[in-house]
């Protein structure tokens, strides 16, 4: 029977709690669908800083590279916030993305009928929202050079970064976005700031040039400031959004908050070949860490994305997705999505309820 190696990176804060629950789910669906999963748990982020002094140990990156897919919990916390840049948990995450060459970050934002009240948006605006942000993840201002500190001609201290995209980087992320839109509702909105930035002008040119290869996808363009508005005004207008690294960081977080249930949202980061990286959108929530209060559903849905996009095990993925919905339908809620009339449970119990549903 088939067998997969999965690297688990629990990370910091609530990371270990949600990873442990998701691991159980992966194990259960594997046994039902008749394949094997072997896990390797590795340190990363603040946990790795504390243990071995770097946020991404070479062994961790190697494990992720050799495995079939990696599931990450969350990283970061107040404890390491003042660290120098190369000793920040976040730097480890950027190194992991770069090391795995996962340039395509898929971030769905969906409002489930069961949770429409959790949104701060009016019901008629929030209900039915179902969009996907395709964010470029290994280029742009996050990695662009030159970068650093210097002094200008007047002896003034300056800090600088470079937003830069090469044609091939735009081409490959745009192709993923067109393919994604094609499998969804056939609408792709490319977000840029082409009225000001040259990097965005090239972005728009390359995306536009690809449109003829995807005649079944309806392509539109939007400036990033307008996109930030339209997500609040009428998020239902969006199907698939494609954008650069920094705009994607901002807009995907905005979109996730529009659903009101950021504790529910998974993400997948994929490369051209090689293993993908899967993680919940939410952070490490140090304030509730270790208290069995975290919502494990985003990590379980990330495990579902891992099964679907990472291993090609569609059926196992669907089992987890259906079980998450079933647990919600049976009224179970963690604190972040709880409302009157539902059963408030902790991280572990929520995990067990999903397992029952599987």
Active site amino acids: 142, 193, 225, 249, 253
- Phi, psi at 88, each rounded to 5°: -95, 145
27, 161, 237, 318: residue in contact with its own copies (rule CB under 8 A): 161
DSSP type of residue 233: H
88, 97, 107, 293: residue in contact with its own copies (rule CB under 8 A): 88
How far apart are alpha carbons 200 and 226 in whole angstroms?
15
Give the Cα-Cα-Cα angle 72, 62, 95 (nearest 5 degrees). Answer: 60
Using the rule CB under 8 A, is 228 a contact of its own copies?
yes
Judged by CB under 8 A, the chain residues 174 through 193 that form the site for its own copies are 193
Q: Total number of residues binding its own copies (CB under 8 A)?
A: 61
Which residues are bridge partners to 134 per DSSP?
106, 242
Between 314-329 and 347-357, two packed helices, what is the crossing angle to 10 degrees? 120
Closest CB to ligand IPM: residue number: 90
Tell the smallest beta-carbon distance from residue 189 to ligand IPM (Å). Answer: 17
Using the rule CB under 6 A, is 195 a contact of ligand IPM?
yes
Complex with ligand IPM: residue 8 or 93, whichever CB lies closer = 93
249, 321, 336, 353: residue in contact with ligand IPM (rule CB under 6 A): 249
Contacts of 321 (CB under 8 A, 6+ apart): 301, 304
Using the rule CB under 8 A, is 90 a contact of its own copies?
yes
Q: Rounded to whole angstroms, what are the CA distances from 239 to 30, 99, 184, 258? A: 31, 30, 7, 15
Number of C-beta neighbours around residue 215 at 10 A: 7
Using the rule CB under 8 A, is 258 a contact of its own copies?
yes
Using the rule CB under 8 A, is 201 a contact of its own copies?
yes
168, 272, 287, 314: residue in contact with its own copies (rule CB under 8 A): 168
What is the torsion angle, in degrees rounded to the nearest 10, for the CA atoms of residue 240, residue 280, residue 25 and residue 261? Answer: -80
Complex with ligand IPM: residue 90 or 349, whichever CB lies closer = 90
Using the rule CB under 8 A, is 249 a contact of its own copies?
yes
Contact window for ligand IPM (CB under 6 A) among 87-95, 158-166, 202-210, 258-266:
87-95
| Best CA proximity match to 252, nearest among 271, 272, 269 | 269
Using the rule CB under 8 A, is 159 a contact of its own copies?
yes
Helix (H) or strand (E) holding 326: helix 314-329
Contacts of 155 (CB under 8 A, 6+ apart): none
How far apart are alpha carbons 162 and 322 in whole angstroms?
43
Using the rule CB under 8 A, is 120 a contact of its own copies?
yes
Which residues are bridge partners to 276 per DSSP?
69
50, 59, 213, 225: residue in contact with its own copies (rule CB under 8 A): 225
Using the rule CB under 6 A, is 90 a contact of ligand IPM?
yes
Contact window for ligand IPM (CB under 6 A) among 90-98, 119-127, 307-315, 350-358:
90-98
Contacts of 236 (CB under 8 A, 6+ apart): 125, 128, 129
Structure tokens at 12: 């910091």
Complex with its own copies: residue 109 or 303, whichever CB lies closer = 109
CB-based contact 290:85 (threshold 8 Å): no
**Which of its own copies, ligand IPM, none has residue 59 at its interface (CB below 5 to 8 Å by kind)?**
none
**Which of its own copies, ligand IPM, none has residue 199 at its interface (CB below 5 to 8 Å by kind)?**
its own copies
How are beta strands 218-223 and 187-192 bridged, if at all?
A: parallel
How far apart are alpha carbons 206 and 140 in whole angstroms?
15
Using the rule CB under 8 A, is 173 a contact of its own copies?
no
Contact window for its own copies (CB under 8 A) among 28-36, 46-54, 101-109, 144-152:
144-152
Can you give the binding site for ligand IPM, defined by CB under 6 A?
Answer: 90, 93-94, 195-196, 225, 249
Can you give the binding site for its own copies, defined by CB under 8 A?
Answer: 85, 88, 90, 94, 120-122, 125, 141-142, 144, 147-149, 152, 154, 156-168, 193, 195-203, 224-226, 228-234, 246-247, 249-254, 256-258, 262
């Amino acid at each position: 029977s088939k067998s997969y190696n999965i690297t688990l990176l629990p990370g910091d804060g609530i990371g270990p709690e949600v990873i442990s629950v998701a691991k159980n789910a992966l194990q259960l669906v594997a046994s039902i669908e008749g394949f094997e999963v072997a896990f390797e748990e590795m340190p990363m982020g603040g946990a790795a800083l504390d243990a071995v002094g770097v946020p991404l140990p070479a062994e961790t990156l190697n494990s992720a590279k050799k495995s079939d897919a990696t599931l990450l919990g969350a990283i970061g916390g107040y404890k390491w916030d003042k660290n120098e840049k190369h000793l920040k948990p976040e730097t480890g995450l950027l190194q992991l993305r770069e090391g795995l060459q996962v340039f395509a970050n898929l971030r769905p934002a969906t409002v489930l009928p069961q949770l429409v009240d959790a949104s701060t948006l009016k019901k008629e605006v929030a209900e039915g929202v179902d969009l996907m942000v395709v964010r470029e993840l290994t280029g742009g201002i996050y990695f662009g050079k030159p970068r650093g500190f210097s002094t200008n001609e007047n002896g003034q201290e300056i800090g600088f970064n470079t937003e830069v995209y090469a044609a091939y980087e735009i081409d490959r992320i745009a192709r993923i976005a067109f393919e994604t839109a094609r499998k969804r509702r056939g609408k792709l909105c490319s977000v840029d700031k082409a009225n000001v930035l040259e990097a965005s002008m090239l972005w728009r040119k390359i995306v536009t040039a690809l449109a003829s290869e995807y005649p079944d996808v309806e392509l539109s363009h939007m400036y990033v400031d307008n996109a930030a508005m339209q997500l609040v005004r009428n998020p239902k207008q969006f199907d698939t959004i494609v954008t650069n690294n920094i705009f994607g960081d901002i807009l995907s977080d905005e979109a996730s908050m529009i659903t009101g249930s950021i504790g529910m949202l998974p993400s997948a980061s994929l490369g051209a070949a090689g293993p993908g990286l899967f993680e919940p959108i939410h952070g490490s929530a140090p304030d509730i860490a270790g208290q069995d209060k975290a919502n494990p559903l985003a990590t379980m849905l990330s495990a579902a994305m891992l099964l679907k996009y990472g291993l090609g095990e569609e059926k196992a993925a669907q089992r987890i997705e259906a079980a998450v919905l079933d647990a919600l339908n049976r009224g179970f809620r963690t604190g972040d999505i709880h409302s009157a009339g539902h059963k408030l449970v902790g991280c572990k119990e929520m995990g067990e309820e999903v397992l029952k549903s599987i």
